[in-house]
Amino acid sequence: MPRKTDLSRQAQLRAEKVIPGGVNSPVRAFKSVGGEPPIIVRGVGAYLWDLDANEYIDYVGSWGPLILGHAFKPVVAAITAAARNGSSYGASTPVEAELAELIISAMPAIEKIRFVSSGTEATMSAIRLARAATNRKYIIKFKGCYHGHADYLLVKAGSGVATLGIPGSAGVPEEFTQFTLALPYNDLKAVKQTFKKFKGEIAAIIVEPVVGNMGCVPPAPDFLEGLRELTSKDGALLIFDEVMTGFRVAWGGAQQLYKMTPDITCLGKIIGGGLPVGAYGAPAKLMDMIAPLGPVYQAGTLSGNPVAMSAGLATLRHLHENHDVYDKLEFNANMLVEGVMSAAHDAGVKLAFNRVGSMFTWFFRKNDSNVWDWDSASQSDTERFGKFHRALLDSGVYLPPSQYEAAFLSSAHTVEDIEQTIDAAKKVFKGL
């Protein structure tokens, strides 16, 4: 039966009077899936509740950072203890170095790290560093990959840009994007041709090693290795945007999973434990170019604030001390994704999926092909996904409100949650 929405609708209308679209991030408006967006008031474990007291099994997880679930007690305790002493000082605190040491221990490619307040800041700063280190201007990104909303990165981007069908963004002069080369993801031939055409001019490749922003799309065999070889040969740098994949697909991120060594790593999501945090790290010889040691300027008043650092430290400590979390996530995610796929097959619904660890996407297909890049992702049946999303929401299952966003499992999800989700999907597929 349809869920209650009266109170959420009233809150949404109130917000629309003072906030563009009533939201502070576009995808929350549900424009691509339709229906009434729930206004959330509480989250515990794998569950969310909205203003109308509807309960949901949550597969958004604040878009990835809540790998341990909502209101995880050690994280809440760490936040509370830190906030009790003050939320921010505009000065250094001991917890910054503690979190940095733990991250560096997980990712050998990082010798030094700089904390910022968002993934956008991390990727923007990483590219500035790469351009300074190489004294080159051009960067390569991939269609459907989203690296934040910096002007020169909103070129054929994924995430909300893809969800809303926007080719880029108004307000970005073409002069700002003239040095951004957008290529098809998983197309190593196109990358080789571009390096040949711009030989000695490319500063860096920035890539999501596992894409999360056109839906979950893993790298093709040898794709990442090919990028590593091409950049090393040409003197360009390889930037891994692990804002989503860092500590999500493995303890050491995608670079551990695929045995890769990027030059610069961008992080976010999980290292903030649910609070706003980003970071970029690299070997010391690169990071020592950052002010105050070197000429590359980057700063942030709230960077490394003690509350966010404490939340991130509590999260990573738990993951470090309980590596079996990843085994559980792998098992449960496989059960969930395969169970829904089986239900779709039994109902005659065309569905494809991609999954890497505990991040995944079901793609509603107009044909039986898989999804490996933006062109194939964009052929998904978004209207049918919208119907699926709305029906699951009415059944108490909360998926990302976009065909082009990855979903996430947390360690708080139980087998019972997964079975309930599969049962709900079976009923929805009959209606489709």
Kind and range of the H or E run holding 313: helix 306-321
- 139: Cα separation from own chain's centroid: 21
User: Encoding tokens for residue 272?
Assistant: 């903030």
CA 195 – CA 264 distance, rounded (Å): 19
User: Encoding tokens for residue 361?
Assistant: 């996407």
Q: Which amino acid is at 190?
A: A
Q: Label residue 413 left, alpha or beta by phi (over 0 means left) and psi (-120 to 50 means alpha).
A: beta
CA 9 – CA 337 distance, rounded (Å): 32
CA 351 – CA 353 distance, rounded (Å): 7
Sign, CA torsion 7/47/312/206 = negative
- 191: Cα separation from own chain's centroid: 24
Burial class, 265, CB count within 10 angstroms (exposed 0-12 / middle 13-18 / buried 19+): buried
Sheet arrangement for strand 407-408: 351-356, 359-364, 407-408
Whether 366 is a known active-site residue: answer no
Contacts 24+ apart (CB under 8 A), 253-258: 253/106, 253/107, 253/209, 254/209, 254/210, 254/356, 255/107, 255/109, 255/209, 256/106, 256/107, 257/356, 257/357, 258/209, 258/219, 258/224
Identified catalytic residue from 138, 185, 269, 373: 269
CA 387 – CA 393 distance, rounded (Å): 10
Q: Which amino acid is at 290?
A: I
Whether 269 is a known active-site residue: answer yes
Identified catalytic residue from 146, 258, 280, 398: 146
Whether 58 is a known active-site residue: answer no
What DSSP line would sit under 249-277, residue for residue?
A: TBTTHHHHHTT---SEEEE-GGGGTTSS-
Identified catalytic residue from 241, 263, 373, 417: 241
* Active centre residues (catalytic): 146, 241, 269
